[in-house]
Structure 1
Amino acid sequence: MRMRSSDNVLKRKQANKMSVGLKLPLAVLTDSYKATHYLQYPPSSKMVAYGEFRSGYARDKADTRLVFHGMRYLVEQYLSRQWTESDVTQADTFFRTHMGPDNSKFPFPRGMFLKFVNENQGYFPVKLECLQEGTCIHPHVPVYQITSEGEYSTLCTFMETLLTMVWYPTTVATLSRRCRDLIEEAFEKTVDLGRESPLLGSRLHDFGFRGCTCVEQSILGGTAHLLNFDGTDTLSAAYYAQFVLNNGVPVASSVPATEHSVMTAWATEKEAIDNMLEHFGAGIFSVVMDSYDYAEALSEVLPSVAAKKVEKGGFMILRPDSGDPLEAVLAALHAAEKVFGADVNQKGYKVPRGCGVIQGDGIGYDSLSKIIDGVVEAGFSLEACAFGMGGGLLQRVNRDTMSFATKLSHIVYKDGSTADLMKAPKSDPSKASLPGILAVRRVDGVPTAFPADAPEMQHVDNLLQVVYDGRPCKDDWEDFTGVRRRVAEEWSALPKTANVISHGLRHKMVQIAHDRRVSAEN
């Protein structure tokens, strides 16, 4: 549903307020060599480039699904910003000093920049198409396509550096979703309501803000995680998702929790927990238990506060923060069972009464899987466990985790001749790119790459939708609730692996490779 114009203005104002950049000239938000490419490309009247992920998460070949997310942020915060003459002047001053060893002047397309500042209200002169936020795909499906024409054609890949940054929220969203798969499977096995349990959304909590390199990273990564879970301590992401992406509707939650500084500020851990019970005992609260001696805290301190905890009636979460993660979790569960008792649910697994555990130290995909298996093997329901993921969620990923790349795929030369372009390195065939102007449609529900002019694309919606066309043109981005819904529906429906390059596109790749070999031989 298209929003009222007044709502659109408000949303743009909110997005602008969220800007956390350093206000650098847009001309320097790229790689140095990008500034010189306008002189390196052959004379042309049109260029097209696209971006893709070339592998599944961490090269996993058994499950290559991924969750595309984050382009809205890049479009609103960067691509839609108007350049000014001051931006170009500042860039000119910089590039005059950005010289090589021979002190030669570093070139940049100053004339083109000034031209679109004066003739296009400062908007960067390209068209950008991309998949909808939250679309679930496999590697090699184009996630965006950028087109430049006329005198600006050689600026096609100038914004590649910024647009490539979509790798980060997409990778975090994918990792978070894979973790949810692990948790969902265990819930289905050990929790009475299975995947329908309202507890499931809080089982993986984002602890990653303090491990981020900057506030902007926390927003992008933290929001990506919130596509799959509603538990977070990364307030920057929770606020952004709620007020910029979801029309003020809340999307995230947390609970009062101690840290070691709180525990050690009191004379004893018992006093610290008594204070928590006074303030939060009727609700859900978390207490870190290993400031001194974790085993003693479980065997001596926990029983000493049990009566008061039961009287208050709330839910106490025990948090270990050192030692072997699986051993620490099991120790907490056994202690909770001993002190408060446990019930056996309908599926035959133990659920401690009014007490659980959250493990936030050393959590990654592999360790999460190991802990879940250990908890289930010990006879406990996973509803008694939650997990906190910090650096393993927002920091321990990079562009190579799912091998993201942007490549030029089509050119119209000045004389009107055209060429579909394809990178095909002999030394690493996995880095081959797709040729031509591309489109994406579903085949049996699976997003699949096609040549844009393929017969199969006739009368079919292209999943690559225009979100910027020489100026901002999209003011009806789907709200965060809708994106969440898309992720949940598409992820479970998508096969774990699929052939996503259409027959026509694959034939074109083979033909281009053949023609290149013939040309080289001659």
Structure 2
Amino acid sequence: MNRTNEVVMGAQDPMRNILLNVDSYKASHAFQYPPETRYVYSYIESRGGKWDRTVFFGLQMFLKEYLCTPITREMIDEAENFWRAHGEPFYRAGWDHILQEYDGYLPVEIKAAPEGEIIPTGNVLLTIVNTDPECYWLTSALETALLRAVWYPTTVATNSWHCKQIILQYLDLTSDDREQVAFKLHDFGARGVSSLESAAIGGVAHLVNFSGTDTVSGVLAARTYYNEDMAGFSIPAAEHSTMTAWGRDGEAAAYRNMIHQFGGKGKLVAVVSDSYDLFNAVDKIWGEELRQEVIDSGATIVVRPDSGDPAVVPVQCVEHLGEKFGYSLNGRGYKVLAPCVRVIQGDGITIDTIGLILRNLADKGWAADNIAFGMGGGLLQQLNRDTLKFAMKCSAAQIGGQWVDVYKDPITDHAKHSKRGRLALVRENGKYVTVAADDAGDRDVLIPVYRNGKLLCDWTFAEIRERAGLFFETA
């Protein structure tokens, strides 16, 4: 067995050691606080950015995966050896104290907004404070892992949520059925993210708002961390290799095979159709040679254009299908394709192109019913911590028996000022606002979710989806 396998297969995987799940400079911070520091209190917020509201989501995954598992003597030894070689000091006494007094469970309390809640930016989403005065340094030691655990799934869920808003606007304008929104945005992002863990975290964040996905790890994350057996669904679909393997002369045969293999009453089958000439495929093959087979199959064939201008080509595809298969007018006066055909656009999709496509369709008299979207990189990868300006900052500390406000306010960038004191999230006049904890009374929306190794709140995915969907029901 080589050395790499020895590390991975051994008793301790260093990649899962919470003591090493940090930025390097964190190792020295235990020695930097003022004398007589006993408690350090920090919070996480989105300071603004691309959108004015966030869908808070994802903390429970991190708590279950990392903080509900105790540290061990082996993990402490491993961290000490690493930091010595890496050039940083190591506060061994602090970690040994946690092992001895708390059986390795971390003595911190985390309070957070309910997952799935829609919260305006600029508000506290989460707070954390040590529960043992000997562990004042622990709050900040967890920043790297905790902030990452929150900003990414919250940003993906927020991105997906705002896409849903746009789709619903056009369904309300052009359609008789807004309930179809659940399957209007499909997650195509698994292959385009940085890791399997990113696919799982981002994939389940999208499923807060929609039910369509090809990111299997996201469905498994919902099952593992949120007690949802099957959070997302997919359909049989072609890729270019399965179509072009038949050769250009066999294009019609490839499409016919999709009908025969997967057709049937009420079935949906997606077929990529731009391998050679999209409009020949739509007009001649789907619209003439296979037209009656499509109708007789009882299925809905979802034609996928996969190249060209994403704001234009799928609209043209809908128009060409309308000429070949016909359409009806719905109650709002917009055209809806015959039930046997629809379009899905999965190339070049972002929150901006979704709006462009739906507007172009509406301008030409077509309902949003006729199209669905698949989003990959635009959903899970083309985001970063600055998309919503996420930050975790210390806002209070108890030093010498007194709580003091802690904050920063850079003269070179006042937008980076941080909040002061211990905080609460309350509703005032129907809106969330952040106030001093002492002024909140029993109005604080932040709920204790973790304390000293114990998970205090276990949200189900159904509860989270319900919260995220309440805005749409009342909009």
Q: TM-score, normalised by structure 1?
A: 0.84
Q: Does 2:221 align with 1:272?
A: no
Alignment of 1:289-328 (within 5 A): 289-302=273-286, 303-328=288-313
- For 1:486, the aligned partner's letter is R
Residue 253 of structure 1 deviates from its aligned partner by 1.0
Q: Residue 40 of structure 2 aligns with which residue?
A: 47
Q: Residue 388 of structure 1 aligns with which residue?
A: 374
Q: Secondary structure at the match of 2:100?
A: helix
Kept in 1, the 8 Å contact 2:68–2:455? The answer is: no
Q: Does 2:56 align with 1:68?
A: yes
Q: Secondary structure at the match of 1:466?
A: strand
What is the rounded CA distance, in whole Å, between the counterparts of 2:139 and 2:219 in structure 1? 34
Instruction: Indicate the RMSD between aligned Cα atoms, in angstroms.
Output: 1.5
Paired residue for 1:254, among 234, 244, 247? 234
Q: Deviations over 1:352-393 (max 9, x none)?
A: 111110001001111111111001111111101000100000
What is the rounded CA distance, in whole Å, between the counterparts of 1:217 and 1:488 in structure 2? 24
Q: Deviations over 1:51-107 (max 9, x none)?
A: 111004x2x4xxx111100110111111222100100111111111102xxxxxx20
Q: Does 2:128 align with 1:135?
A: no
Q: Residue 143 of structure 2 aligns with which residue?
A: 160
Q: Does 2:330 align with 1:345?
A: yes
Kept in 2, the 8 Å contact 1:437–1:452? The answer is: yes
Kept in 1, the 8 Å contact 2:426–2:435? The answer is: yes
Q: Secondary structure at the match of 1:178?
A: helix
Kept in 2, the 8 Å contact 1:130–1:145? The answer is: yes
Q: Secondary structure at the match of 1:237?
A: helix
What is the rounded CA distance, in whole Å, between the counterparts of 2:163 and 2:66 in structure 1? 31
What is the rounded CA distance, in whole Å, between the counterparts of 1:329 and 1:185 in structure 2? 19
Alignment of 1:28-177 (within 5 A): 28-43=20-35, 44-56=37-49, 58=50, 60=51, 64-99=52-87, 106-148=88-130, 149-165=132-148, 166-177=150-161
What is the rounded CA distance, in whole Å, between the counterparts of 2:387 and 2:120 in structure 1? 14
Q: Does 2:316 align with 1:335?
A: no
Alignment of 1:94-493 (within 5 A): 94-99=82-87, 106-148=88-130, 149-165=132-148, 166-193=150-177, 195=178, 197=179, 199-242=180-223, 244-248=225-229, 250-267=230-247, 268-282=250-264, 283-302=267-286, 303-353=288-338, 354-413=340-399, 415-454=400-439, 457-458=440-441, 460-474=442-456, 476-490=457-471
Closer/same/farther in 2, CA of residues 349 and 293 from structure 1, 3 Å limit: same
Residue 417 of structure 1 deviates from its aligned partner by 3.1
Residue 491 of structure 1 deviates from its aligned partner by 6.3
Of 484-493 and 310-319, deviating more is 484-493
Closer/same/farther in 2, CA of residues 381 and 76 from structure 1, 3 Å limit: same
Residue 493 of structure 1 deviates from its aligned partner by 5.7
Closer/same/farther in 2, CA of residues 340 and 366 from structure 1, 3 Å limit: same
Q: Secondary structure at the match of 2:311?
A: helix
Residue 135 of structure 1 deviates from its aligned partner by 1.3
* Gap regions ≥5 residues in structure 1: 1-20, 100-105, 495-522
What is the rounded CA distance, in whole Å, between the counterparts of 2:227 and 2:453 in structure 1? 24
Residue 247 of structure 1 deviates from its aligned partner by 4.3
What is the rounded CA distance, in whole Å, between the counterparts of 2:367 and 2:181 in structure 1? 12
What is the rounded CA distance, in whole Å, between the counterparts of 1:152 and 1:243 in structure 2? 31
- For 2:353, the aligned partner's letter is S
Kept in 1, the 8 Å contact 2:55–2:116? The answer is: yes
Q: Deviations over 1:134-158 (max 9, x none)?
A: 1111122111111124111122210
- For 1:478, the aligned partner's letter is W
Identity score, percent: 36
Q: TM-score, normalised by structure 2?
A: 0.93
